[in-house]
Amino acid sequence: MIHWIIAPVVIPALMAPFIVLAARYHLGIQRVFSVAGVLALIAVAAGLMWQASDGTVTLYQLGDWAAPFGIVLVGDKLSTMMVLLTSVLALFVLLYAIGSGWDDRGRHFHALYQFQLMGIMGAFLTGDLFNLFVFFEVLLIASYGLMIHSGGNARLRAGVQYVLFNLLGSTLFLFALGSIYAETGTLNMADLAQRVALIDPAETVGIRVAAVLLLLVFAIKAALVPLHFWLPSSYAEAPAPVAALFAIMTKVGAYAIIRVYTIVFHPDLEITAGLHETWLMPAALVSLAIGMVGVLAAKELNRLVAYSVIGSMGMVMISISLLTPVSIAAALYYIVHSTLAAGALFLISDLVRTGRRDLMLTPQPPVAGGTVTAMMFFAAAIAMAGLPPLSGFLGKLLVMNAAFDAQGVAWIWAVILISSLISVVGFARAGSVVFWKCRSIEPDPEAPEPTTPTVLSYAAVGGLLALLVAHTVFAGPVHRYTSGIAAELFAPDTYISTVLETPGKLSKPKEGH
């Protein structure tokens, strides 16, 4: 058994207590170890992705107990890609936090950051639904700490809302897991896939309720309208690097939906047929529309970015709810794009804030280093709004192409195109107010000299933007890879047989007895 697959969980799990216990009062050492940990994560994640790229499904049985009795970690193409995406985003966000001094404005930033990564990695790698719940809680409790990092009343109030909403989501998750266990007697995803298919068609009430409950839970994580109310305040009030890292958290919800609704409640399953097109699709369309209208209506730059996250999740969910191999490939391409773009936009809004009183979209004196910041905002806004030439445009084309044969294609195309227009207007208005109208304002002579963001901050944002450009330039290979992932998801036999047929220590013949 190869142990590398548990490394993305173990590395941050060891790094975080080390930072808290040994390097408590030494910010320099904390920074070094935190960055080293994330670099190690990237290396391991790249290795895992290379290993999974030929279709191998890597299985890790914790304690050597065979599934479904023990908990398993499974590394297939989808989970390893998400792990790599998380660790790459984490590196740039961490560099920004160091460059901008955010990690110095409160205590234990680096330790919480590592715990957060541990939870996200675990959620991507686990093959067991209850374990998914546990890793959700790990990432949530770390995110509560990060969310209120460096304090402030507005942030604490937003933190209370965020924690309460997520506690409610966790409770709902437990209700869903309880009903699934009561109906099937297992929580291992591969085992569930087999047992759900065996349920008597006359007695499917319980499992259908469970499937909808589970969808609700993941929709809360993915901030799908009408379950999105926790997102705008908490993402806008969270420290910028934390909000940028949270860009991956909504994708955890999207990932969980893709995983569970292709393996367990797969599209051919009669008992949950129609769930995605009847319920998920309209909610996704409304999400996209509301998110982009929110972009236009936002009064503050960070709220604008938060609403654009909701809109881009709507786009992802439209693609997921079509639930065909083509649409899942498009959704995965768009997930990578929107994670990078949202992360970059949150960091840019913090660059803007360093030179301004606040982030209200009102004309204020020019921000320090405004030219570079403005160019970065321009690039990131183009990507997020989905204009050519950046990857948002390609992602949108892929989603629209996937929707071409679907029912209600007119609705889908209309919502996507009109909401794109709205978001372009919203971003253009915000950019021109923040970066252009400032020229007409006389700077206040008594105002303190604005501080210019450090080179490292710019480098971190530039890195994310460079990744977006690379995501556009190498769109062909990336899309081929996501198509491969989708093909693997829609033929889950390898996954199921690897998980269920690998013997553990209980099934080995006893030697020497």
Partner 1 sequence: MELLVASAIGVLTAGGIYLMLRLRTFPVILGISLLTYAVNVFLFASGRLTVGAPPILQKGVETYTDPLPQALVLTAIVISFGMTAVVVMIALGAYLGSDDDHVDDPADPTSEGGRDAT
Whether the CB-CB separation of 41 and 94 falls below 8 Å is answered with no
Asked if residue 389 binds partner 1 (CB under 8 A), the reply is no
Structure tokens at 154: 């507005």
Tell me how far apart the alpha carbons of residues 318 and 406 are, in angstroms, rounded to a whole number.
Answer: 11
- Give the x-and-dash track for 117-136 against partner 1 (CB under 8 A): -------------x---x--
Tell me how far apart the alpha carbons of residues 391 and 376 are, in angstroms, rounded to a whole number.
Answer: 15
Least distance in angstroms from the C-beta of 14 to partner 1: 21
Return the residues of window 491-510 that contact partner 1 according to CB under 8 A. Answer: none
Please identify, among the stretches 111-119, 138-146, 428-436, 448-456, the one whose residues bind partner 1 according to the rule CB under 8 A.
Answer: 138-146
Q: Compute how many residues bind partner 1; rule: CB under 8 A.
A: 36
Please identify, among the stretches 32-40, 142-150, 392-400, 442-450, the one whose residues bind partner 1 according to the rule CB under 8 A.
Answer: 142-150
CA dihedral (310, 312, 315, 320) positive or negative = negative
**Binder to partner 1 among 48, 52, 89, 148 (CB under 8 A)?**
148
Return the residues of window 361-380 that contact partner 1 according to CB under 8 A. Answer: none
Asked if residue 480 binds partner 1 (CB under 8 A), the reply is no
Asked if residue 104 binds partner 1 (CB under 8 A), the reply is no
DSSP for residue 433: I
Asked if residue 151 binds partner 1 (CB under 8 A), the reply is yes
**Binder to partner 1 among 170, 194, 324, 452 (CB under 8 A)?**
170
**Binder to partner 1 among 58, 87, 233, 319 (CB under 8 A)?**
233
Tell me how far apart the alpha carbons of residues 212 and 210 are, in angstroms, rounded to a whole number.
Answer: 5
Asked if residue 154 binds partner 1 (CB under 8 A), the reply is yes
Tell me how far apart the alpha carbons of residues 307 and 300 are, in angstroms, rounded to a whole number.
Answer: 11
Asked if residue 194 binds partner 1 (CB under 8 A), the reply is no
Asked if residue 347 binds partner 1 (CB under 8 A), the reply is no
Please identify, among the stretches 170-178, 241-249, 270-278, 384-392, the one whose residues bind partner 1 according to the rule CB under 8 A.
Answer: 170-178
Whether the CB-CB separation of 436 and 319 falls below 8 Å is answered with no
**Binder to partner 1 among 20, 137, 411, 428 (CB under 8 A)?**
137
Question: How many residues belong to the chain?
Answer: 513
Whether the CB-CB separation of 386 and 392 falls below 8 Å is answered with yes
Asked if residue 150 binds partner 1 (CB under 8 A), the reply is yes
CA dihedral (37, 39, 42, 43) positive or negative = negative
Radius of gyration of the chain (CA): 23
Residue 297: name the closest of 285, 310, 284 by CA: 310
Structure tokens at 250: 């909504």
Whether the CB-CB separation of 252 and 123 falls below 8 Å is answered with yes
Instruction: Using CB under 8 A, list all residues that contact partner 1.
Output: 105, 130, 134, 137, 140-141, 144, 148, 150-154, 156-157, 159-161, 163-164, 167-168, 170-171, 174-175, 177-179, 181-182, 233, 353, 357-358, 360
